Amino acid sequence: MHSPPRPAAKYPLTRIAGPYGHPFHPIAVIIPIGAWVSSVVFDFIAITQSSPAPFVMGARILIVIGLIGAVVAAVLGFLDWLTIPRGTPARATGTTHMILNLIAMGIFLASLLLRGGIFSDSEGVSTFAVILSVSGLAILSLSGWLGGKLAHTFGVRVADEQTQREGLEPLP
């Protein structure tokens, strides 16, 4: 009997991307998202404090953690993107998702540089740096929605329907 073709976008390109049905990219994105959201929270706390220095430094450190985590997530996401067939809506969505994430990374890097970098002794936070960070979060939110579409609508790196069906059948 002839078996149906294996959809490439459901299988890892390499073990580095995570095993079948368990991609690492969705796990890795938690680090930059959490760090960058927390950095903006620290920014808003710093704006309201008479001694903002600890929150300003905390925001800088969180942006750096987010940038490092984003590089890891980007590599893992790129490996998953390579499995999506060219000329498909999923590939176009993945490309847009990737571009938006790279823009968000650039915005957070610019925000960090406006703050004087990680080792700056500045005790205040630039309003424009905060605006950049909030803009970066907005772009990241749109990109995350597209990432959800890749997984939940197009099934990229999600187990095939037969595997899913087996998980929903009653136990004996």
pLDDT (tens digit, 9 = 90+) per residue, 27-84? 999 999 999 999 999 999 999 989 999 999 999 999 999 999 999 999 999 999 999 9
Q: Which domain holds residue 54?
A: 8-158
CA 171 to chain centroid: 36
Q: Are 118 and 61 in contact (CB under 8 A)?
A: yes
> Domain for residue 3, yes or no?
no
pTM of the model: 0.88
Task: Convert 38-48 to b/e letters by CB count within 10 Å (16 or more is b).
Answer: bbbebbeebee
Q: Are 56 and 46 in contact (CB under 8 A)?
A: yes
> Domain for residue 121, yes or no?
yes
> Domain for residue 93, yes or no?
yes
3 has pLDDT over 80: no
Whole-angstrom Cα distance, residue 73 to residue 17? 10
119 has pLDDT over 80: no
> Domain for residue 163, yes or no?
no
Whole-angstrom Cα distance, residue 25 to residue 30? 9
Q: Are 9 and 157 in contact (CB under 8 A)?
A: yes
List strand residue ranges (DSSP E) for the chain, in order.
none
Residue 140: per-residue pLDDT:
98
4 has pLDDT over 70: no
Report the number of distinct structural domains present in the chain: 1
> Domain for residue 2, yes or no?
no
Mean pLDDT throughout 109-138? 88
117 has pLDDT over 80: no
> Domain for residue 30, yes or no?
yes
Whole-angstrom Cα distance, residue 167 to residue 170? 8
Mean pLDDT throughout 152-161? 88
> Domain for residue 135, yes or no?
yes
Q: Are 17 and 167 in contact (CB under 8 A)?
A: no
The token duo for 71 is 């590089």
> Domain for residue 85, yes or no?
yes
